[in-house]
């Protein structure tokens, strides 16, 4: 068995982070008609396989982390008071990574490019080093909200560098109005 890491970000319809959401991991076939769903899967707290909890609770950024057997398909159930009696059910979820540590590399940084109110294409970087391929996971924020791939941004490798194209061009600071802020992070 290899253990992989699963990162989840739970947001409302406007992209605002939802803290305190419960993220349940179930083996398949799963019964999701009531909470808690069943059967609950074994969840680990780290790559070596130390015991974890199921469900996992999201933090103040709507983020949760769980380590699971990455050779199994899971049904993930997201529950939050905002969802009422209708949790989000995500069947057939795979867990990325081969486990063991060195196979996955985290990255983060502010995309580089000209912020002039019209330019929408920026280079994705790890610190200041441009990425050269599309990562296994990427989370993009714009003014504190998480963006959705295909709606808020697109990705493409252009001339050997990963480019992010925002749906809305970032605006520069103007007088006492601060400029837009944007950031990317994820796993290679």
Per-residue pLDDT tens digits for 14-38: 888 999 999 999 999 999 999 999 9
Q: Are the beta carbons of 115 and 123 closer than 8 angstroms? A: no
Confidence (pLDDT) at 127: 81
Boundary residue ending a domain (93, 121, 154): 93
Whose tokens are 């799963």? That residue is 30
Q: Is residue 101 part of a domain?
A: no
Co-location of 79 and 7 in the same domain: yes
**Model confidence, pTM:** 0.54
Co-location of 69 and 131 in the same domain: no
Distance CA 149, CA 15 (A): 12
Confidence (pLDDT) at 97: 62
Co-location of 10 and 84 in the same domain: yes
Mean pLDDT to the nearest integer, 58-80:
93
Co-location of 39 and 117 in the same domain: no
Co-location of 88 and 10 in the same domain: yes
Q: Is residue 99 part of a domain?
A: no
Per-residue pLDDT tens digits for 171-187: 999 999 999 999 998 87
Average pLDDT over all residues of the chain: 89
Confidence (pLDDT) at 54: 97
Co-location of 75 and 138 in the same domain: no
Co-location of 12 and 64 in the same domain: yes
Confidence (pLDDT) at 40: 97
Boundary residue ending a domain (93, 124, 152): 93
Q: Which residue segment(s) compose the domain that 39 sits in?
A: 3-93
Share of the chain above pLDDT 70, in %: 96
Per-residue pLDDT tens digits for 95-142: 876 444 445 677 888 999 999 999 999 999 888 889 998 887 888 999
């Amino acid at each position: 068995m290899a253990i992989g890491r699963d990162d989840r970000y739970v947001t409302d319809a406007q992209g605002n982070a939802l803290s305190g959401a419960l993220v349940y991991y179930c083996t398949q076939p799963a019964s999701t008609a009531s909470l808690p769903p069943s059967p609950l899967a074994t969840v680990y707290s780290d790559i070596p396989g130390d015991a974890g909890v199921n469900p996992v609770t999201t933090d103040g950024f709507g983020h949760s982390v769980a380590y699971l057997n990455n050779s199994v398909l899971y049904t993930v159930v997201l529950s939050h008071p905002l969802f009422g009696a209708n949790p989000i059910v995500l069947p057939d979820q795979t867990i990325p990574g081969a486990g063991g540590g060195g196979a996955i590399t985290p990255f983060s940084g502010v995309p580089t490019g000209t912020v002039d109110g019209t330019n929408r294409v920026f280079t994705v970087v790890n610190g200041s080093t441009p990425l050269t391929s599309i990562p296994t996971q990427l989370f993009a924020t714009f003014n504190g909200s998480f963006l959705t791939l295909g709606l808020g941004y697109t990705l493409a490798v252009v001339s050997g560098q990963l480019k992010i194209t925002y749906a809305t061009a970032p605006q520069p600071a103007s007088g006492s109005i601060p400029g837009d802020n944007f950031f990317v992070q994820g796993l290679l």
